[in-house]
């Protein structure tokens, strides 16, 4: 019996701004149906690698280019996840600095926008489940691998990094332990830049040392984050 299964890719792109974690959504409509919100994604072409497919779909629907995407999970146990066909989706997720990213609906989407992860509406197919799976992966990674630098601007206050971790984890971090742990690795550098904050002691800006981080990653890094 010949199979009639299609392969798709979906992208969970997280952004961060003002202490809020966002996910990138698109709005589409098919065959006169009411518009619906969904993750960027679509069917893989016959001769196309999966990673090329997800990058292409992101560009065609959101005008976003992502350098690094991590494969998340394959969704297909629910054979009726797409009412039109039997579709298996390979989901990817990425972290980007949304402040530096200009999104706009491109050829394959009617609208595109950042959505607060705490205010996600009902989405098409099983995309709410895909986003929740990505959030679980992201929170798990916090406890064993430094992440989040792709969500911050090039120069950031240490308090910005603390706030980012608290936002993603939805827990209050042990600030003293967190600073000691982060600084011990040497993958962020303190700069001479000082914040222009009025009142109180001005804070120094930091920047991410990618060379040092990549070196530690190759050598093996043990990162344990403690929460209050």
Residue 10: partners with Cβ closer than 8 Å, 6 or more residues away = 39, 40, 41, 54, 75, 89, 90, 91, 92, 127, 130
Of 132, 138, 137, give the one whose Cα is nearest residue 151.
Answer: 138
Q: What are the pLDDT tens digits along the chain (228 aa)?
A: 677 888 999 999 999 988 899 999 999 866 567 788 999 999 999 999 999 999 999 999 999 998 889 999 999 887 877 777 788 899 999 999 888 888 888 777 889 999 999 999 999 989 999 999 999 999 988 877 778 788 898 999 999 999 999 999 888 888 888 899 899 989 999 999 998 766 666 789 999 998 988 888 788 777 777 776
Give the side-chain half-sphere CA count within 13 A for 145: 13
Please report the domains of the chain, with CATH numbers, ordered by start residue: 5-141 (3.90.79.10), 143-219 (1.10.10.10)
């Amino acid at each position: 019996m010949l199979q009639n299964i299609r392969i798709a890719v979906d992208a969970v792109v997280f952004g961060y701004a003002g202490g809020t974690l966002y996910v990138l959504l698109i709005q589409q409509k098919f065959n006169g149906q009411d518009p619906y919100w969904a993750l960027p994604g679509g069917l893989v072409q016959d001769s196309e690698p999966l990673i090329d497919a997800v990058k292409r779909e992101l560009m065609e629907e959101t005008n976003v280019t992502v350098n690094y995407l991590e494969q998340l999970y394959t969704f297909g146990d629910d054979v009726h996840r797409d009412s039109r066909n039997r579709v298996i989706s390979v989901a990817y997720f990425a972290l980007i600095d949304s402040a530096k990213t200009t999104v706009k609906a491109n050829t394959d989407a009617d609208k595109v926008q950042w959505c607060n992860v705490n205010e996600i509406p009902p989405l098409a197919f099983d995309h709410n489940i895909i986003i929740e799976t990505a959030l679980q992966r992201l929170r798990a990674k916090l406890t064993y691998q430094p992440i989040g630098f792709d969500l911050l601007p090039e120069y950031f206050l240490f308090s910005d990094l603390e706030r980012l971790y608290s936002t993603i984890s939805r827990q209050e971090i042990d600030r003293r332990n967190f600073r000691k742990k982060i600084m011990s690795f040497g993958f962020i550098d303190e700069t001479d830049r000082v914040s222009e904050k009025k009142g109180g002691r001005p804070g120094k800006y930091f920047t991410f040392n990618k060379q040092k981080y990549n070196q530690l990653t190759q050598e093996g890094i043990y990162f344990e984050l403690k929460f209050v």
